[in-house]
Structure 1
Amino acid sequence: MMSKIGEALSFFRENDWRAIWARLNIRDTDPLVQFIKYGICGIGSLTITQVIFYSLSRWGMYPALVDSGVTDAVRAVNSIYNNIIAFFFGNIFAYVTNSLWVFTPGRHHRVLEFIYFSTISSIGFGIGLVSGPYLIKWYGISTFVAQLLLIVSSTLVNFICRKFFVFKG
Structure 2
Amino acid sequence: MTIAVCSGSFDPVTYGHLDIINRGARVFDKVIVAVLINSKKNSLFTVEERVELLRQATADIDNVEVDSFDGLLIDYMKKRKAQVIIRGLRAVSDFEYEMQVASINKKLDENIETFFMMTSNQYSYLSSSIVKEVASYKASVSDLVPPVVEEALLAKLGR
Larger Rg: 1
Structure (1/2) with the larger strand percentage? 2
The structure with more helix, counted as a fraction of residues: 1
Same-fold call, TM cutoff 0.5: no
TM-score, normalization by structure 1 = 0.23
The one of the two structures with greater contact order (alpha-carbon pairs below 8 A, sep at least 6) is 2
